Structures are given as structure tokens and as C-alpha cells.
Structure 1
Amino acid sequence: MKPFFTAVALAVMLPVVAIAGDTAQVGKPAPAFTLKDETGKEHSLAQYKGKVVVLEWTNPDCPFVKRHYTAGTMQKTLAGFDAKKVVWLAVDSTASNAAEKSATWKKEKGFTYAVLQDASGTVGKAYAAKTTPHMYVIDEQGVVRYAGAIDDDPRGNKKEGITNHVKGAVDALLSGKPVPAATTEPYGCSVKYKS
């Protein structure tokens, strides 16, 4: 009887292990994807090989995202990078999101990068994105080098001394140095996946 229960337990556990192995992990190749942006243009991770890619999970209705966009956190961070070497893509895995909503929000906030439409949540789940914002930095070879929060100011009450983890990761990669903190705890609203 004992070997039977062990076999059943292993059979039940195997799919979980397989799924976990397919999600984004620091030091491993980033899960491939192709998504359309708010204008209908397709973007695939493969097309950006040779550049550092920043993925930002977002939801314009989330108070944390609103705070960062009002403060210009994402826009200022991107502005500090060489556009020839770094690509920034927002990904909206909110089940109720629509391309028109993303386009309106993008126009209101005045940023230029694409808002990828992932209402099915497939890509968000492949990356194990938990919060908005949840940030990933992928190196020129397509390997995840950072996953976590945009910065170390979850409540937005620091006046100075804020560590921008994404800036630190990108700067390190561009200068051939190790990423200072490969993972941090993301904060924000939970990603509103399709149930």
C-alpha cells in the first residue's frame, strides 16, 4: 500500500513542479511571449534580444500605479537609460482591461512605451507576476536578472534615500557588473487575473 500512496503523491506533485519550472526565475531564460500593444502592434520578447528589457506589470486603476505615474517614477527611470540599449514594456494582465483603456491612460500620463495587452493573464502567470507594479529586468541574452519592486519605498513616504531597484539592475547590466539585488519583495495591488 505504501508504494501506491507514494506514487499517487508524486503524480499529484509533478504537474506543480512542471508549472513552477516554466515560470520566470532570476538566472534562467525569460519565458517567451508575443502580445499586442494598445494599438494592435505585436511585440515579442525575441525581437528585443541584444537589448536590456524592463517589464512592468501595471494596472491604471491601482493606487500604487497611480502614485508612481503621478510622481513620474517609471517615466524618469526610463529617461535615464540609453534608448538604443534598453526597452521598457508595460504589461496589463487585468482581466477587465481593454486596449482603448490602455491607450487613453497612456495619452493622459504622457509616456511613450507600449502597454501590452494580456487580459487572459497567460503571460502574467508565466512570469508569476503578483502585484502592480511588479518589475522584471531581462539581460541582452534573454535571461531574467531582476524580479521584484520598482524601489524600496512601498508607502511612498520617503523624501530621500530611495533605492530604485530597476535603475540599479539596468545600470549594472549595462556596465557589465552583477545586479546589486537580484530579487526584492514586490508591493502594490494584486494582479486582477481572469478567474
Structure 2
Amino acid sequence: MSLLHSFKSAGLAGVVALAMSGAAHAVPKVGEPAPDFTAPGANGKPVKLSDLKGKYVVLEWTNEGCPFVQKHYKSGNMQGLQKEFTGKDVAWITVFSSRVGAQGHVDAEGAKKFQADFKTASTAMVLDDAGTIGKLYDAKTTPNMFVVDPAGKLIYSGAIDDTPSADAADIPKSKNLVQLALNESMAGKPVTTPVTKPYGCSVKY
């Protein structure tokens, strides 16, 4: 599917613009510049990563039908994390990368319904049904989390927490790795655990 066709299927015009550091399909590395992208937001406005330079940015891959995503949304854990950090001027970008026809695919209206149903606090929701941004970041699972610092450098990549289960009862005893990375970096400290293995459902490219 072409990017232009993908955008039209979401009712949005334009072609995604990608700016990558290094080789065309190099996996982004923590400590290096986060790959730039411009993509359609569910509200009809494009989202460009480099426009957010000067802020911390969280990229969150999601899929409503995934039980691992449900663990964090139905419990309110993900929304609580979103509210905590958007309240500290962090930009939180939720990305939908399921292809058209695959489980978890949403158009703009579907993304807005997701937002309303779960009362999310994302700064923006990005439609990526061609999987361009997901592949750019080598996002493997839902959820898969990335943190970018104000200089535009990737400082965290991996799981939301250290308990790879779909059981919400495990949340209170888990270490939230995204929260830890943000708190450490905001305090001027190095991120203790900058790379972890993400867990969840596979991204439906």
C-alpha cells in the first residue's frame, strides 16, 4: 500500500515525510538522534517530531485489542502516566501502526473514539497504517515505548515496565521504566536502564 493511499484511507491528504539519521533502515539507537517524522494526527493536523524539540517526547505504540495494552488502559495505568507527564510539559504521542484490514487498525474517527472511551491524555494520536513510523523506530510490540529528550536524542527504548504480563494485578509491584527514565533525565541524571525488551502483541504491519 502506498503512503498516499494510506493517508487517503484515513481521510487525510499529504505524504508522510521522514528524516532518518544514518542508513535508510537503521534501527534507532539510544544515545543518538531520534528519527524525525511528519505524520497525520487523528485531529487532522500533522505531527512533526522535530517541531517538539525542546520538550521531552514519549512515543507509545498501541492497539486496543491487545490484552497487554488493555492491561495498562483498563486499569488506568497508561492514562495516569500520560497525565503525570503531560502535566510536566512532556509531549505524549500515541501511534497506531496496524495496517488497513488488520486487527487494531483505526482511522481518525476510530482514534478519537479510543481517546474518548479510555479518557486518554495523549498530546496527539498518530495514524500510521502504512507502518512507516513503526518500522522507522523498529517498534515490535504494543505497547512499545520510546523517550526522546529535549535535544532530540533517544534516551529510552523498550517496555513500559519490568513485568511482561497481561495481568493488571502485576502493575503495583512493577517498576515503570518509562516513568523512571523520564524522572532520572529530568533530574539531570543518566537513565539507569535505557534499553529493555518490549513485551506485548506484535505490531500488525
**Highest CA radius of gyration, 1 or 2?**
1
Report the identity percentage: 44
1:57-112 residue CA offsets vs partner (Å, 9 max, x unmatched): 11112111112100112111122226353111101111022122111111111113
Structure 2 spans left out of the alignment, 5+ residues: 1-21
| 1:42 paired to 2:46 | yes
The residue aligned with 1:18 is: 23
Separation in 1 of the partners of 2:195 and 2:144? 11
Partner of 2:36: helix, strand, or coil?
coil
Query: How many residues get paired?
Result: 176
Separation in 2 of the partners of 1:126 and 1:159? 29
- Cα gap change, 1:46 to 1:73, in 2 (>3 Å): same
Q: When you count helix as a share of all residues, which structure comes out higher?
A: 1
TM-score, length-normalised on structure 2? 0.81
TM-score, length-normalised on structure 1? 0.85
How much is the aligned-residue C-alpha RMSD, in angstroms? 1.6
| 1:139 paired to 2:149 | yes
| 1:85 paired to 2:89 | yes
- 1:114-133 pair list within 5 angstroms: 114-133=124-143
- 1:175-190 pair list within 5 angstroms: 175-190=187-202
What amino acid maps onto 1:56 in structure 2? E
Match of 1:148 among 155, 158, 170: 158
- Compute the displacement of 1:39 (Å): 1.5
